[in-house]
C-alpha cells in the first residue's frame, strides 16, 4: 500500500470529515497560516460526552494511521477526555465536551483567522 502525503489543508479536511462521520458537532476549521508559527490549521469539534470525545480521537487516530501511515506527534487530555488535543504538526485537532469548549472559546481567541464550518450541523 502506498502512503499518500497530505497537505495541511487536505489533512484538516480529512480530519473534519472523520469527525463529521462520527457525529461530532460544531466542526470548525481555522486557517492559521500567517497567524501562527507552529501550525497551519486547527480543527475544532465538540462531542456530546467525554466518551464521544474519546471515540472521535480513536476514529481520527485509526483512520489516519490506516489510510495515510500518519500518527500524531503527541496527544494530550485523553484520560479525562474533556479536551483532547492531537498534534499532527501542520494540523492541531481539538475535541471538546460542550462545557469545556464554551469555557476555552478557541474560535474567539483566534477570531482573526479565516474559519470554515463543516458538516451537517454547520452554521454559515
pLDDT above 90 for 124: no
Residue 124 lies in a domain: no
Q: Quick check: is 53 in a domain?
A: yes
Asked if residue 77 belongs to a domain, the reply is yes
Is 109 inside a domain boundary? Answer: yes
Mind listing the pLDDT tens digit for each residue in 85-116?
999 999 999 999 999 999 999 988 888 888 98
Instruction: Report yes or no on 1 lying in a domain.
Output: no
Question: Is 80 exceeded by the pLDDT of residue 121?
Answer: no
Asked whether the predicted pLDDT for residue 80 surpasses 70, the reply is yes
User: Is 113 contained in some domain?
Assistant: yes
Residue 100 lies in a domain: yes
Whole-model pTM: value is: 0.91
**Element housing 14 (H / E):** helix 8-21
The pLDDT, as a whole number, for residue 49 is 97
CATH number of the domain residue 29 falls in: 3.30.460.10
- Structural domain for 21, as ranges: 8-118
Q: With respect to residue 78, please indicate whether it lies within any of the assigned structural domains.
A: yes
The domain total for the chain is 1
Over residues 19-41, mean pLDDT? 94
- The DSSP result for 3-58, as a single string, is PPPPPHHHHHHHHHHHHHHTT-EEEEEEE-TTT-SS-SEEEEEE-SSHHHHHHHHH
Hey, is 88 helix, strand or coil?
coil
Instruction: Give residue 36's pLDDT.
Output: 85
Answer whether 42's CB lies under 8 Å from 29's CB. yes
Question: With bands split at pLDDT 50, 70 and 90, how would you rate the model's confidence at 58?
Answer: very high
Amino acid at each position: 500500500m502506498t502512503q499518500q502525503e497530505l497537505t495541511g489543508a487536505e489533512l484538516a479536511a480529512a480530519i473534519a470529515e472523520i469527525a463529521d462521520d462520527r457525529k461530532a458537532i460544531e466542526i470548525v476549521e481555522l486557517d492559521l497560516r500567517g497567524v501562527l508559527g507552529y501550525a497551519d490549521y486547527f480543527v475544532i469539534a465538540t462531542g456530546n460526552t467525554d466518551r464521544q470525545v474519546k471515540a472521535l480521537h480513536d476514529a481520527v487516530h485509526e483512520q489516519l494511521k490506516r489510510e495515510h501511515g500518519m500518527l500524531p506527534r503527541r496527544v494530550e487530555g485523553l484520560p479525562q477526555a474533556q479536551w483532547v488535543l492531537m498534534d499532527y504538526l501542520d494540523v492541531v485537532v481539538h475535541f471538546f465536551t460542550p462545557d469545556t469548549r464554551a469555557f476555552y472559546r478557541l474560535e474567539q481567541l483566534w477570531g482573526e483567522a479565516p474559519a470554515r464550518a463543516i458538516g451537517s450541523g454547520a452554521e454559515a
